[in-house]
Chain A
Amino acid sequence: MNWRHIHVVFRKELTDALRDKRTIIATIVVPALMFPVLTIGMGGMAMKSISNLRKEAQTKGSEVMLLGAEHAPKLATVLSNAPGLKIVPSANDLVARINAKTLRAAVEFPPDFEQQLTKASTNAPKVRIYHYFGEMRSQMAVQTVEAILRQQRDQMVGERLAAKGLSRDVLTPFASEQQNVAEPKKVGGNLLGGVIPYMIILLCLVGAMHPAIDLTAGEKERGTIETILASPVSRSDLVLGKFLLVLTVSLVSATVSISSLALTFVLPIEAVKAMGRVGPNALPFALSGGAVAAVLVLMLPLAIMFSSALLALGLFARTAKEAQSYLSPLMMLVILPAMAALLPGVELNARLALVPILNVSLTAKELLTGHYQWGLLTMVFLSSCVYAALALTAAVWTFKRESVLFRT
């Protein structure tokens, strides 16, 4: 092994990669913008459209039809005077009009509503509300109607109790409340312990894809492979230099994505906490720095494995296009074990500690929830290192195969 050669190759590939707009976009720009754009963009748009709808409903009022208003004159009057509702004359085509979205809801009172009320029987009269399930404006109308009905019902209950000389307290003989006693980091770990490792694993792979293909199949396609093979650099030094570049890009890309993820989700939560808008336990989220560091250390052999495997795969392909067609099956191969760790009941044991990708995913989850066994941890790390070494060896071996280099 000639370190000078490896370094020269690495430096050249780095210069090359930094000048490649596609590499920069795929490994830095997209991961940096993905999370903020998705959450802030989508969230913002959703919030805005909902608030617009609310405003519209308040100013214009939702069209609601009352059926059998004469059976419940008091309630009907309250509904008619309620702000946010616009009562339209009753008609028989209510279903068609609700479906056509020209009517938001209809409220139907049964004929014997008042009589049933005064009897206070066990068979309480039912007010029926017709609506369009899942349609935003219809749901808003229903909410307004329900709120008014609830208020009226409460008032009647109060009056009935008072008539019998009872206080409202009679309705609540005892109360209950929940209190979370798990350490914040465990809760955070449980919520995020599965998702974060999964994301990092996937992002490491995605980040390595573009450069790995460009440096192998891309070289074949552009005809530079013969140029470099004719230089004195040995094939193993060549692949190691290329490998270091792919690994670097993969790690940079993953770091960018994770930072972007943290800035998008964690910082706003922390800011809200700091402003004291919510109690310290309201958002039980905390991650220990040590656990995060340990997770990153575990990811390193995985990133090595991905970079090597992608290089070998890229070199096997004749063109970049062919290499890309191998990526979808490879993604599935990585996503399945990484996701298996998210399933409830799948926990780390000696056997699973030897399953590549799944072992790291599971260990990361345990680390982030704060309970782990050193024995299994060591086993996972060592087995991952073995897989990484095997993948790197395979990449070097591929580079020495004439039948692969000059595949026709």
Chain B
Amino acid sequence: MIEAVQLAKVFPDRKKGPVRAVDGVSFRCEPGEIYGLLGANGAGKTTTLRMLATILQPTGGTATVAGHDVVKEPEQVRSRVGFLSTATALYARLTARETVEYFGRLNGLNEALLRQRVDKLVALLEITEFAGRRCDKLSTGMKQRVSIARTMVHDPPVMIFDEPTLGLDVMAARVIVKFIRECRDQGKTVIFSSHVMSEVEKLCDRIGIIHGGKLLVEGTLAELRERTGQPDLEEVFVHIVEAHP
């Protein structure tokens, strides 16, 4: 489970003064649910998710991920989270298999369990054929699968996806979308950020619209449509954002 309470992040900026990237965001995401964070570029999606993944520290509020506080127990949180974004690249000079093993070891798996998990993921994600190839020699699609294996190696109960399909072609994006669904079906808590309406519409059980660092509304797609009287998510989004300049 993920619970954010009044989560805030202020970045100091010498020229502009303090920038409130995330401003008192609160939401809950339950196991077996996909929560979609929808927002334009610079709305605060990435910063929010980075705080949940303990890559950044909040300057206000707090969040619990899988029962651990992101500020007090960051390492506990990270060992229960799988984090995937288009910014999380792979080590070019490690092979696909070594990459997955490396993150398995950092997640504290012993060698016997590690081999078992890696074998399973390599088979499941159809990596076998190129498992011994260096990551810099892999195609984008292959890299995606290795990245998924990397986030899954420790079987985390919580998955955080930050614009995971950004810059991917249709086929590569489909692999990711399918994988996100599977995570939910396994009962994992999934949070997902995007600015692609169709993806959010298709995938998310509940949606939060974030703008200017603030979470403006949240609810299921049906609830949002009802509340705004708009036919689809794009119209809902525009309607809500325009009401909060």
Residues of A within 8 A of B (CB): 4-5, 8-9, 12, 15-16, 19-20, 222-224, 226-227, 229-234, 402-403, 406
A160 to B209, CA, bound (A): 116
15 further A-B pairs in the complex, CB-CB below 8 A; given A12-B102, A222-B91, A223-B89: A5-B106, A9-B106, A12-B94, A12-B98, A16-B93, A223-B88, A224-B91, A227-B150, A229-B55, A230-B53, A230-B55, A230-B81, A232-B107, A232-B108, A233-B106
Chain A residues whose CB sits within 8 angstroms of the CB of B55 once the complex forms: 226, 229-230
Chain A CB count within 10 A is highest, among B56, B78, B90, B91, for: B91
B64-79 residues with Cβ-Cβ distance < 8 A to A are 74-75, 78-79
B89 touches which of A4, A224, A402, A406 (Cβ 8 Å): A224
Indicate whether A19 sits within 8 Å of B106 (C-beta atoms), given known contacts A223-B87, A226-B88, A230-B78. no
A5 to B89, CA, bound (A): 20
Q: In the complex the two chains form, is B106's CB within 8 Å of A230's CB?
A: no
Query: Lowest 4 CB-CB distances: which A-B pairs, in order?
Result: A223-B89, A230-B83, A232-B79, A227-B88
Chain B residues whose CB sits within 8 angstroms of the CB of A224 once the complex forms: 88-91
Instruction: Give the A-B contact count at a CB cut-off of 8 A.
Output: 62
CB distance from A288 to the nearest CB of B (A): 43
Indicate whether A16 sits within 8 Å of B94 (C-beta atoms), given known contacts A8-B106, A227-B150. yes
A234 to B87, CA, bound (A): 20
Q: In the complex the two chains form, is B57's CB within 8 Å of A402's CB?
A: yes
A226 touches which of B12, B78, B87, B93 (Cβ 8 Å): B87
Q: In the complex the two chains form, is A230's CB within 8 Å of B102's CB?
A: no
B90 touches which of A15, A227, A231 (Cβ 8 Å): A227
Chain B residues whose CB sits within 8 angstroms of the CB of A8 once the complex forms: 102, 105-106
Indicate whether A226 sits within 8 Å of B108 (C-beta atoms), given known contacts A12-B102, A234-B75, A403-B12. no
- Interface secondary structure of B, over-half rule: loop
Sample (12) of A-B pairs whose CB atoms are under 8 Å apart: A8-B105, A15-B93, A15-B98, A226-B87, A227-B90, A229-B55, A230-B55, A230-B78, A230-B81, A232-B75, A402-B56, A406-B56
Q: In the complex the two chains form, is B107's CB within 8 Å of A227's CB?
A: no
Q: In the complex the two chains form, is A231's CB within 8 Å of B56's CB?
A: no
- Interface assignment of B103: CB less than 8 Å from any CB of chain A: yes
- Interface assignment of B92: CB less than 8 Å from any CB of chain A: yes
Chain A residues whose CB sits within 8 angstroms of the CB of B105 once the complex forms: 8
- Interface assignment of B85: CB less than 8 Å from any CB of chain A: yes
B78 touches which of A16, A223, A231 (Cβ 8 Å): A231
Chain A residues whose CB sits within 8 angstroms of the CB of B12 once the complex forms: 403
Q: In the complex the two chains form, is B150's CB within 8 Å of A15's CB?
A: no
A221 to B34, CA, bound (A): 31
CB distance from A240 to the nearest CB of B (A): 14
Q: In the complex the two chains form, is A222's CB within 8 Å of B92's CB?
A: yes
A230 to B83, CA, bound (A): 6
Chain B residues whose CB sits within 8 angstroms of the CB of A226 once the complex forms: 55, 85, 87-89
A370 to B103, CA, bound (A): 52
A8 to B106, CA, bound (A): 7
Q: In the complex the two chains form, is B91's CB within 8 Å of A16's CB?
A: yes
Q: Which residue of A lies closest to B82 (CB)?
A: A230
